[in-house]
């Protein structure tokens, strides 16, 4: 219903509430109307103004409806990214933007939202499954889990369009789609013997290298979480560290703080006495280094830093670990493999999966289940131990 207000100069302001196509919220549109004759009787004047208001209201509603009906995926993608950006981590936002610009817009950018159907989403899944090559240089097409990640962006756009009433049905719901079978993912971990050898070799390393590698192994924290630790997060008396932030480095940008990956990633982790001693030794080294740096030292309280005390580039631990493995001729695993190894060691020593999941900051137990295969290998190793026991003692099987 239009709102009519008479101005002191005899004109009328007409306001109409309508839905804004950019935000989905209701805002008002207004116009000023000058009567055809300032001397019209009150009754005729009222009818004239009401007729103008009714026509204006209809025009506004039709314009709003047409704008919403004719909006393309390309145009909506701008609104989508603007709305979603505050809720996405910086790296996820970059990923979403890339999927939209590199794949969704070339395929569906000029289509009207209202014309997109479930079979278009299925077409996108088929394209990813059969046409898109891997970006890591390996042969073959992308994995089933990666197909789902890319499709999540398309589905998220359509869900938001449905919530904002650009479309009448959420055509991207997963129950209506067929995805390729996801491969079974097995986490690569170091064996118990390799862990023993790594810990022995770390005693020969500089304390700054030893501290960061052992922190990864004994906490199971993600790389960005380790780099984001501050001394205020480390309680050496009660043997605990608290994860409150993570560090990321966008392409071409500087290392920057962000919140941990999920709400479950905010957590406090108990650490062994051995790690407390390593961190204490590292802190003493850091304090001596601070004195040598004098005015060049920047005080930001980060545990692991670059030479000038600025926050560490999250790629630095990876490089340090790679060089360490090469120096000692160990089997190569990614730095993230220390996180996997930490979880597997805990499970193999009888720690329940729920506790391990909490230490890792997983949001559900299904994610933690990727480590179960490693336990099966350890179980086979335990069985082999009995064979060794028999052989060493010369015990013969009786038939």
The tens digit of pLDDT for each residue in 49-62 reads 888 888 878 777 76
Q: Are 3 and 14 in contact (CB under 8 A)?
A: yes
User: Which of 110-114, 288-292, 294-298 has the highest average model confidence (pLDDT)?
Assistant: 110-114
Q: Which two tokens stand for residue 118?
A: 């479930």
Helix (H) or strand (E) holding 18: strand 12-19
Model pTM score: 0.65
Answer yes or no: is pLDDT of 123 > 60. yes
Q: Are 225 and 231 in contact (CB under 8 A)?
A: no
Tell me the C-alpha distance between 83 and 31, whole Å: 29
Q: Are 269 and 362 in contact (CB under 8 A)?
A: no
Q: Are 9 and 29 in contact (CB under 8 A)?
A: no
381: left (phi over 0), alpha (psi -120 to 50) or beta: alpha
Query: Which range, of 224-228, 258-262, 363-367, averages the lowest pLDDT?
Result: 363-367
Tell me the C-alpha distance between 265 and 362, whole Å: 7
pLDDT (tens digit per residue) in 188-211: 889 889 999 999 999 999 999 999
Question: What distances in angstroms separate CA 251 from CA 86, 88, 113, 256, one per listed residue?
Answer: 19, 17, 32, 12
Residue 23 pLDDT: 45
Residue 135 pLDDT: 66
Residue 295 pLDDT: 63
pLDDT (tens digit per residue) in 244-263: 999 988 777 788 888 887 78
Q: Which residue's entry shows tokens 């004047």?
A: 45
Tell me the C-alpha distance between 399 and 76, whole Å: 77
Q: Are 54 and 212 in contact (CB under 8 A)?
A: no
What is the residue extent of each domain of the chain? 3-70, 73-176, 192-383
Q: Which two tokens stand for residue 182?
A: 């996801």
What average pLDDT does range 130-153 have in this prediction?
80
Q: Are 12 and 4 in contact (CB under 8 A)?
A: yes
Q: How many helices (H) and strands (E) does the chain have?
A: 15, 8
Domain 73-176 matches domain 192-383 at the CATH topology level: no
Maximal C-alpha separation, the chain? 122
Local structure of 5: helix, strand or coil: strand
Query: 394: how many CB neighbours lie within 10 A of its CB?
Result: 6
Query: Which range, of 15-29, 263-277, 308-322, averages the lowest pLDDT?
Result: 15-29
Q: Which two tokens stand for residue 277?
A: 């001693």
Tell me the C-alpha distance between 199 and 209, whole Å: 12
137: left (phi over 0), alpha (psi -120 to 50) or beta: left
CATH architecture, domain defined by 73-176: Orthogonal Bundle (1.10)
Model confidence band, residue 105 (pLDDT cutoffs 50, 70, 90): very high
Residue 244's φ and ψ, nearest 5 degrees, are -120, -15
What average pLDDT does range 74-98 have in this prediction?
91
Residues 6+ apart with CB under 8 A from 31: 13, 14, 56
Residue 209 pLDDT: 95
What average pLDDT does range 78-99 have in this prediction?
90
**Number of residues in the chain:** 399
Q: Which two tokens stand for residue 260?
A: 């941990």
Residue 22 pLDDT: 47
Model confidence band, residue 109 (pLDDT cutoffs 50, 70, 90): very high
Residue 78 pLDDT: 93
Top pLDDT among 316 and 363 is at 316
Residue closest to 255 by CA, chosen among 319, 308, 310: 310
User: Among 1.10.340.30, 3.90.550.10, 1.10.443.10, 3.20.20.70, what is the CATH number of 192-383?
Assistant: 1.10.443.10
Local structure of 237: helix, strand or coil: coil
Q: Which two tokens stand for residue 49?
A: 């103004």
Q: Are 239 and 276 in contact (CB under 8 A)?
A: yes
């Amino acid at each position: 219903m239009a709102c009519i207000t008479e101005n002191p100069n005899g004109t009328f302001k007409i306001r109409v509430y309508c839905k804004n196509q950019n935000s989905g919220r209701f805002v008002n549109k207004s116009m000023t109307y000058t009567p055809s004759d300032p001397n019209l009787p009150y009754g005729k004047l009222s009818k004239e103004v009401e007729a103008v208001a009714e026509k204006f209201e209809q025009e506004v509603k039709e314009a709003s409806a047409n704008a919403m009906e004719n909006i393309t995926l390309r145009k909506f993608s701008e609104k989508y990214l603007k709305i979603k950006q505050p809720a996405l981590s910086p790296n996820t936002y970059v990923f979403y933007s890339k999927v939209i610009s590199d794949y969704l817009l070339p395929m569906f950018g000029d289509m009207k939202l209202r014309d997109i159907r479930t079979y278009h989403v299925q077409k996108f899944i088929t394209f990813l499954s059969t046409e898109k090559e891997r970006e890591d240089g390996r042969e073959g097409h992308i994995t089933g889990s990666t197909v789902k990640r890319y499709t999540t962006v398309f589905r998220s756009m359509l869900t938001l369009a449905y919530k904002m009433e650009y479309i009448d049905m959420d055509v991207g719901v997963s129950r209506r789609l067929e995805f390729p079978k996801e491969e079974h993912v097995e986490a690569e971990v170091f064996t118990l013997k390799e862990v023993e050898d790594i810990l022995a070799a770390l005693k020969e390393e500089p304390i700054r290298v030893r501290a960061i590698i052992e922190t990864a192994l004994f906490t199971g924290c993600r790389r960005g979480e380790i780099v984001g630790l501050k001394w205020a997060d480390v309680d050496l008396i009660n043997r605990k560290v608290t994860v409150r932030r993570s560090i990321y480095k966008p392409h071409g940008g500087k290392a920057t703080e962000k919140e941990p990956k999920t709400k479950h990633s905010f957590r406090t982790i108990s650490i062994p006495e051995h790690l407390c001693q390593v961190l204490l030794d590292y802190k003493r080294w850091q304090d001596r280094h601070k004195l040598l740096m004098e005015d060049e030292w920047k005080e930001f309280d980060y545990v692991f830093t670059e030479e000038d005390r600025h926050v560490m580039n999250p790629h630095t631990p990876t490089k340090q670990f790679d060089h360490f493995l090469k120096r000692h001729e160990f089997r190569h695993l990614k730095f993230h493999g220390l996180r996997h190894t930490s979880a597997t060691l805990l499970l193999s020593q009888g720690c329940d999966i729920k506790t391990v999941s909490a230490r890792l900051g997983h949001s559900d137990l299904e994610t933690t289940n990727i480590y179960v295969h490693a336990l099966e290998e350890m179980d086979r190793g335990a069985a082999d131990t009995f064979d060794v026991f028999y052989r060493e003692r010369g015990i013969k099987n009786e038939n």
